[in-house]
Chains A and B, each alone.
Chain A
Amino acid sequence: MSQSVLEAVSRDDSVAARAMLTTQDGSIHLLRNSHSWTREESLSHINPTQTLFLDLPVPEPSLKIRVSPRNILSAYVNRVTSHILQLRNLPSTLARFAKHFATGSYEEIELGSKFRDAFGLRKFIIVSTTTGKLLALDSANGGTPVWTKLLPFGSKIEGMGILRQSNAVRGYPPLLGVVVKEGSLYKLLQINGLDGSIRDEAEVFYSTGDIVKLFPVPSGLLATPSFKEVESVLIFEGKDPLMYVSDRGYAGLLPGTCHYSDVRAQIEEKLYFSVFEENAVQGYVVHTVLLPRVSHSNP
């Protein structure tokens, strides 16, 4: 079985050729004297259960608000001048509004940008493949891949979750938590959801069986943060914990560097999840706080 096919044309001594080949991630490429094209056929290997919908951040205002601290008069002058500056955009804004109103399209999405639209309908669909690749597809652009990330060959993506939503902390990009199995080793990758770059890579110290489920702890379960917790949110850079469950019934929180003792106290007897077992879906509840063990509940 071949990984490539060849076509050749010969004339006298010279030969022109092109080859088509497949690569480890599943994509198909045509090579000539230059790389002609690539098709992301790796999308035919996605893990459908691991799909994420990532909200995009709101763009920062382009016109900075100037605040004059010196005296009331200069603050007033500043304010009036900035209003006049903003008024210059009013006719074009009204015209655009009228056009949108007439045509029914509410907004043009800038396809090259990585910002949300007015109603938050545009999302990046994050998918993982069985070949160890992550792709972000733009829902507003017919599913065109925005970024792709190939993990080291042989690594298996065990689960994904959104670790930090867009705009959770100003100036910080959304983060994806991706649990990867390399050989017998589990790793948590923290990946920037907007461009696919790896922000952090840590081994998960873990020896309690294979990970069967990874999911974000619902934020509704967590009580309104106290002053102390707000502080800790800032320390954790606005990351929501992800919970993993092993096939032997152990559960733990990721990233491992964070001490989510408060979180553990809050999810006790409240957090339900389901696991697909041999021939049925089984429901469980998290019941122990100190030892993160998981027990049966009525399914």
Chain B
Amino acid sequence: MYTVPHTSYSGATTSYGVTVTTLDAVTGKVIDIHQHDAFITSPDNLRVVGSHSSAPLAIWLDKDKLKANVLGSRAVSTLETDIPDSPSFSFSVLAPHSSTSLPHFLVSFIDAGSSWANVYHINLSAGSISRAYALPKTPKGTYSLAQVDANIFFAKVTLEFGREEADFEVWGSTSHARLNRWTVPFPISQYGLAGIVCSFFLLHTRFL
């Protein structure tokens, strides 16, 4: 069974909705179409993550609230967080890609000069999503996720101009205790901050 969320343009207004379509993987026939009650100003405000995991997610920014739907269910949860009123604000989501992983995910936020993140746990039986802990607000950094067996780890690498070193911090998804922190010499004046150079450039590795 495939479940395909997509934004749908809702006629006269300049907003978009979220429609989840469920397809039969063998025949390609549509099994179900469900339209969520959503108000999205731009398709960029929808994230779909966690394919192959026990809880694939659609997460969208609905006015000043962050809403989430576990694909396959009809329930829409509001994620507990503060959304600043800033034009440079954006969010992204990191979730595991394995069905054996814990159903935990991280939402990171960026505004003009800083970044912060929340870790959420999904209760699969109850279908609810709760905030487990928050990672501190710091100068702009980049977040990443690693899955080890069922466990999930999150890391943040912070690069700052005027400092020739990088902060590299690691947390586990289950508790807010920071597992490790390294301060690594890094010539930022030579390479710049963490950033994506072109939109089609995806860093995807498989460590051996």
Residues of A within 8 A of B (CB): 1-10, 13-29, 31-35, 38, 45, 131, 148, 150, 153
CB distance B143 to A4 under 8 Å? yes
CA distance A34 to B184 in the complex (A): 5
CA distance A20 to B208 in the complex (A): 13
CA distance A259 to B191 in the complex (A): 37
Could you say which of B92, B144, B199 contacts A19, with CB atoms under 8 Å apart?
A: B144
CB distance A45 to B197 under 8 Å? yes
Could you say which of A4, A9, A45 contacts B155, with CB atoms under 8 Å apart?
A: A4
List the one stretch of B32-40, B56-64, B125-133, B145-153 in contact with chain A: B145-153
CB distance B166 to A35 under 8 Å? yes
Could you say which of A22, A31, A150 contacts B203, with CB atoms under 8 Å apart?
A: A22
For residue B89, CB closer than 8 A to chain A, the reply is no
CB distance B192 to A31 under 8 Å? no
CB distance A22 to B195 under 8 Å? yes
Chain A residues whose CB sits within 8 angstroms of the CB of B194 once the complex forms: 3-4, 21-24
CB distance A9 to B148 under 8 Å? yes
For residue B189, CB closer than 8 A to chain A, the reply is yes
Q: Which 9 interchain pairs have the tightest Cβ spacing? A: A24-B192, A6-B144, A24-B195, A3-B142, A8-B153, A6-B146, A8-B146, A23-B191, A4-B144
CB distance B204 to A5 under 8 Å? yes
CA distance A22 to B146 in the complex (A): 17
Could you say which of B157, B185, B201 contacts A21, with CB atoms under 8 Å apart?
A: B157
Q: Which residue of B lies closest to A147 (CB)?
A: B190
Residues of B within 8 A of A (CB): 92, 94, 142-146, 148, 151, 153-155, 157, 159, 166, 168, 170, 172, 179-180, 182, 184-186, 189-199, 201-205, 207
Number of A-B pairs whose CB atoms are under 8 Å? 131
CB distance A23 to B193 under 8 Å? yes
4 other A-B residue contacts (CB within 8 Å) besides A1-B202, A23-B192, A131-B197: A3-B142, A4-B157, A7-B146, A33-B168
Q: What are 17 A-B pairs with beta-carbon distances under 8 A? A: A1-B199, A2-B143, A7-B207, A10-B148, A10-B153, A17-B153, A21-B142, A21-B144, A22-B201, A28-B203, A29-B191, A31-B157, A31-B182, A31-B186, A34-B182, A34-B185, A45-B197
CB distance A31 to B184 under 8 Å? yes
Q: Which residue of A lies closest to B178 (CB)?
A: A15
CB distance B155 to A6 under 8 Å? yes
CB distance A17 to B155 under 8 Å? yes
CB distance A150 to B184 under 8 Å? no
Chain B residues whose CB sits within 8 angstroms of the CB of A16 once the complex forms: 180
CA distance A4 to B92 in the complex (A): 13
Chain B residues whose CB sits within 8 angstroms of the CB of A8 once the complex forms: 146, 148, 153, 155, 170
CA distance A25 to B192 in the complex (A): 6
CA distance A15 to B143 in the complex (A): 17
CA distance A125 to B144 in the complex (A): 36
Chain A residues whose CB sits within 8 angstroms of the CB of B154 once the complex forms: 6
Q: Which residue of B lies closest to A20 (CB)?
A: B205
Q: Which residue of B lies closest to A129 (CB)?
A: B197
Chain A residues whose CB sits within 8 angstroms of the CB of B204 once the complex forms: 5
A5-B205 contact, Cβ under 8 Å, with A14-B180, A15-B153, A17-B155: yes
CB distance A2 to B92 under 8 Å? yes
CA distance A18 to B207 in the complex (A): 10
Could you say which of B92, B155, B197, B207 contacts A22, with CB atoms under 8 Å apart?
A: B197
Chain A residues whose CB sits within 8 angstroms of the CB of B143 once the complex forms: 2, 4
**What is the minimal beta-carbon distance from B70 to any residue of chain A, in angstroms?**
22
Most buried by B among A18, A28, A29, A153: A29
CB distance A24 to B142 under 8 Å? no
Chain B residues whose CB sits within 8 angstroms of the CB of A19 once the complex forms: 144, 155, 157, 168
**What is the minimal beta-carbon distance from B123 to any residue of chain A, in angstroms?**
24
Could you say which of B145, B166, B198 contacts A31, with CB atoms under 8 Å apart?
A: B166
Q: Which residue of A lies closest to B145 (CB)?
A: A6
CB distance B94 to A35 under 8 Å? no
Could you say which of A7, A10, A35, A45 contacts B184, with CB atoms under 8 Å apart?
A: A35
CB distance A6 to B153 under 8 Å? yes
CA distance A121 to B2 in the complex (A): 61
CA distance A33 to B181 in the complex (A): 9
**What is the minimal beta-carbon distance from B97 to any residue of chain A, in angstroms?**
12
Most buried by A among B155, B186, B194, B198: B155
Q: Which residue of B lies closest to A196 (CB)?
A: B190
Chain A residues whose CB sits within 8 angstroms of the CB of B179 once the complex forms: 10, 13-15
CA distance A12 to B193 in the complex (A): 33
CA distance A38 to B186 in the complex (A): 10
CB distance B190 to A148 under 8 Å? yes
Q: Which residue of A lies closest to B94 (CB)?
A: A2
